[in-house]
């Protein structure tokens, strides 16, 4: 049997209707491997007005799989959806492969670890919750150590426990 690989995947969905969408996405991800842990889910406001209609739910999962990094990237990209405006608005779903084992990659298709993982205060906090002991292969610090020095996530607040979205 192939050795399992560990990946961190960031998920952002429209807040309105997001709980059901998140459960569907996580069920699809479970078809490709195992969700080892999931961070808390945060509500990120996209405008200063802090209106739920203009907010996203965001979280990070730690995923164990026998898929290659290319297969994992393909799975992540296949689940992304660009929302469209108007009456038949399709919801927005953004997934980002943050890390895959200790891989360091720089290609037009994929950069690992994700270059903005440590610069976005909410993403680094969620990633540290999902896999705090992961050692960033470039900074040589754990995600817990990196998140302790991150700036506060100003436009975000706790929404729900991540484990409420998936049955472990």
Task: Identify any residues that bridge with 6 across adjacent strands, giving them in sequence order.
Answer: 64
Which two three-digit tokens encode residue 63?
């995923």
Asked, for residue 28, whether it belongs to a domain, the answer is: yes
* pLDDT value at residue 86: 47
On the question of pLDDT at 1 being above 70, the answer is no
Express as a percent the part of the chain with pLDDT over 90: 70
pTM for the whole structure: 0.91
Contacts of 161 (CB under 8 A, 6+ apart): 40, 41
User: Tell me, what CATH number does 48's domain have?
Assistant: 3.30.70.560
Residue 123 near residue 20 (C-beta atoms within 8 A): no
Residue ranges in the chain assigned as alpha helix (H): 18-30, 69-78, 121-131, 143-148
Q: What is the tally of structural domains in the chain?
A: 1
Q: What is the pLDDT of residues 47-91, one digit of tens each?
A: 888 888 889 999 999 999 999 999 999 999 888 876 545 444 556
Asked, for residue 10, whether it belongs to a domain, the answer is: yes
Q: What is the pLDDT of residues 84-117, one digit of tens each?
A: 454 445 567 899 999 999 999 998 888 999 999 9
Phi, psi of 166 (to 5 degrees): -145, 145
Which two three-digit tokens encode residue 38?
């999931």
Q: What torsion do the CA atoms of 92, 147, 26, 53 make, to the nearest 10 degrees?
A: -30
Asked, for residue 45, whether it belongs to a domain, the answer is: yes
Q: β-strands 34-38, 105-106: how paired? A: unpaired
| Averaged pLDDT for residues 149-157 | 91
Separation of alpha carbons 111 and 89, rounded Å: 31
Residue 143 near residue 127 (C-beta atoms within 8 A): yes
| Averaged pLDDT for residues 26-35 | 93
Host domain of residue 57: 5-103+154-165
Asked, for residue 58, whether it belongs to a domain, the answer is: yes
Asked, for residue 145, whether it belongs to a domain, the answer is: no
End-to-end CA distance of the chain: 23
| Averaged pLDDT for residues 1-25 | 90
Asked, for residue 125, whether it belongs to a domain, the answer is: no
* pLDDT value at residue 83: 55
What letter does residue 68 receive in the DSSP assignment? -
Express as a percent the part of the chain with pLDDT over 70: 92
């Amino acid at each position: 049997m192939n050795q399992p690989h560990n990946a961190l995947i960031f998920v952002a969905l429209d807040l309105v209707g997001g709980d059901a969408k998140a459960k569907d996405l996580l069920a699809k991800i479970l078809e490709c491997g195992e969700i080892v842990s999931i961070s808390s889910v945060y509500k990120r406001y996209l405008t200063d007005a802090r209106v739920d209609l203009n907010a996203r739910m965001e979280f990070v999962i730690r995923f164990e799989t026998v898929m290659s990094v290319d297969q994992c990237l393909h799975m992540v990209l296949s689940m992304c959806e660009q929302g469209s405006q108007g009456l038949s608005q399709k919801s927005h779903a953004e997934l980002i492969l943050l890390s895959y084992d200790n891989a360091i990659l720089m290609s037009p298709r994929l950069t690992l670890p994700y270059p903005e993982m440590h610069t976005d205060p909410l993403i680094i906090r969620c990633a540290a919750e999902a896999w705090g002991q992961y050692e960033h292969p470039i900074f040589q610090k754990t995600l817990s150590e990196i998140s302790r020095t991150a700036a506060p996530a100003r436009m975000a607040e706790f929404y729900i426990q991540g484990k409420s979205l998936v049955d472990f």
